[in-house]
Amino acid sequence: MAGGLFTPLLFRDALRVIRLFCRRLHCESQPDTKRFITENTEIVQGRSLTPEISLRLFTPKCRFWTERPELWPFPEPFWAIYWPGGQALARYLLNNPAVSKGKRVLDLGCGCGASAIAARLSGAEDVVANDIDPVAVIATQINCELNGLEPLSCVTENMICSEPDNWDLILLGDMFYDESLADCLHKWLHTCIKVHGTQVLIGDPGRAQFESHSIKKLLHKQARFELPDSVKEENYGLTSSTVWSYRPD
Ligand SMILES: C[S@@+](CC[C@H](N)C(=O)[O-])C[C@H]1O[C@@H](n2cnc3c(N)ncnc32)[C@H](O)[C@@H]1O
């Protein structure tokens, strides 16, 4: 009887471990992509809300700032920008290490990986960086190295469609930029909270799609940060970024 109950669970867990292992190998065995990222980005430090974190990003000094976009060999490089939502989230975690210390943390839509890095620097026990763009998780690993951290676990599957794991904390930096993505996220985050009691933190600079979404009424403000002048210039019309906690009740 017990075998009947437990075998499928063990099998499912084993599959999950194998899948994670394969993805981790995949992230770390892409020397050409790593070289491409290194050659086509610049190390940036001190021009964000988290000057203590260095990141490889697009700047006017990089070839593809002016190069013809059709020569870019990968999907759109969201990971080459440190988005204001992620900046606020990372700042909040660094200012409040107790939020992530000892926790199992998922950075969903990690992009350059700054929020995951901030969680790790703040003492999170286990941090998984997830992005459906495989180049983003490689950029995240490069940025981990840059900040003196061991590589993080990275996953490229679309987790929003899957059964949620028991994360203590889920981080979402600037993920409410598209209405249908926001709807899926809302539903999935609700399940994560109801099933596992997960804490959910969202960083957003007040984008229209976020402000008008139904999840907004269920959020509680944790902190608001004035953006540095350089970030304001790069993100025309945005002046601050806020961290929200999602509590459905
Ligand atoms: C606007 S960027 C934000 C990146 C980072 N969180 C930050 O704040 O700097 C959104 C990121 O979400 C990723 N993304 C989009 N849909 C996703 C999904 N369903 N699951 C995981 N990542 C996703 C994109 O590839 C992109 O890297």
- Give the residue, by CA position, lying nearest to ligand 1 atom 14: 109
210 lines ligand 1 (CB under 6 A): no
Ligand 1 centroid to 78 CA: how many Å? 7
Q: If DSSP codes are grouped into helix, strand and coil, which group holds residue 210?
A: helix
Tokens 């997960």, located at residue:
198
User: Chunked in runs of 10, what are the mean pLDDT values of the chain (249 residues)?
Assistant: 36 47 50 93 96 97 92 93 98 98 98 98 98 96 97 95 93 96 96 96 96 96 97 94 94
β-strands 219-226, 153-155 pairing = unpaired
CATH number for region 16-246: 3.40.50.150
> Which atom number of ligand 1 is nearest to the Cα of residue 203?
8
Q: Note the pLDDT of residue 14.
A: 47
CB of 204 closer than 6 angstroms to any ligand 1 atom: no
Task: Give me the amino acid identity at 157.
Answer: E
Rounded Cα distance between 17 and 11, Å, is 10
> Looking at ligand 1, which atom is closest to the CA of residue 108?
21
Measured CA to CA, the distance from residue 20 to residue 125 in angstroms comes to: 17
What pLDDT is attached to residue 123? 98
pLDDT reported for residue 125: 97
CA of 132 to the centre of ligand 1 (A): 7
| Helix pair angle (114-121, 84-95), 10° resolution | 0
For 183-201, letters b (16+ CB in 10 Å) and e give: eebbebbeebbeeeebbbb
Cα 154 to averaged position of ligand 1 atoms, centre (Å) = 13
**H-run or E-run covering 159:** none
Spans of all domains in the chain: 16-246
Spatial contact of 219 and 225, defined as CB atoms under 8 Å apart: no
pTM metric for this prediction: 0.90
**What pLDDT, on a 0 to 100 scale, did the predictor assign at position 29?**
53
Helices 134-146, 2-28: inter-axial angle, 10-degree rounding: 70
- pLDDT score of 6: 33
Amino acid identity of residue 195, one-letter, is V
Three-state SS at 189: helix
Separation of 87 CA from ligand 1 center, angstroms?
Answer: 13
The pLDDT of residue 196: 96
Decide if 111 contacts 173 (C-beta within 8 A): yes
Does ligand 1 have an atom closer than 6 angstroms to the CB of 181? yes
For residue 177 and ligand 1, the question of a CB distance below 6 A is answered with yes
User: What distance in Å separates the CA atoms of residue 218 and residue 167, rounded to the nearest whole number?
Assistant: 20
Please give the C-alpha separations between residue 236 and each of 70, 125, 176, 219, in angstroms, as whole numbers. 25, 37, 18, 25
